[in-house]
Amino acid sequence: MQPFDVHLYAQNWVAVALSVIIGLMAIGGMFAASRLLSSRRHSDIKLSTYECGIPATPYSWSNLNIRFYIFAILFLIFDVEAVFLFPWAVVFLEQRDLGNVVPFYAMVMFLGVLFFAIIYAWKKGVLEWQK
């Protein structure tokens, strides 16, 4: 067991405190620069909510097409698939253990299910934007 060194312990906390102080100074500097460099003229247009260049309108109900929801869900499914696939590939290539084929076939099954899911969605016409 190593003896407790007060100097090393204090040095670590000095680094943390210095990081906090520098971070707070950077935040304060950004707020000050924003205050000094920003425009002082106020108008109704400047105070309105920005909506991608479209003038703001009073709140009204609108119909949302279900296709937007379906596309979002499909994107999430295949995005999560990429999140699983890349780390698996890195670990699989690092190990190079050819005796253990279970992880390889597990990923093949996973990709197969996703492949059949996209084919099913395609055949059902979910990926067609206009009908």
Domain ranges of the chain: 66-124
Q: Residue 120: is its pLDDT beyond 80?
A: yes
The 10s digit of each residue's pLDDT in 51-100 is 676 666 666 677 777 777 877 888 888 888 888 888 888 877 777 666 66
Model pTM score: 0.44
Cβ–Cβ < 8 Å for 81, 87: no
The 10s digit of each residue's pLDDT in 10-56 is 777 888 899 999 999 999 999 999 999 987 777 777 777 766 766 66
How far, in Å, CA of 28 to CA of 21, rounded?
A: 10
pLDDT of residue 81: 84
Cβ–Cβ < 8 Å for 117, 70: no
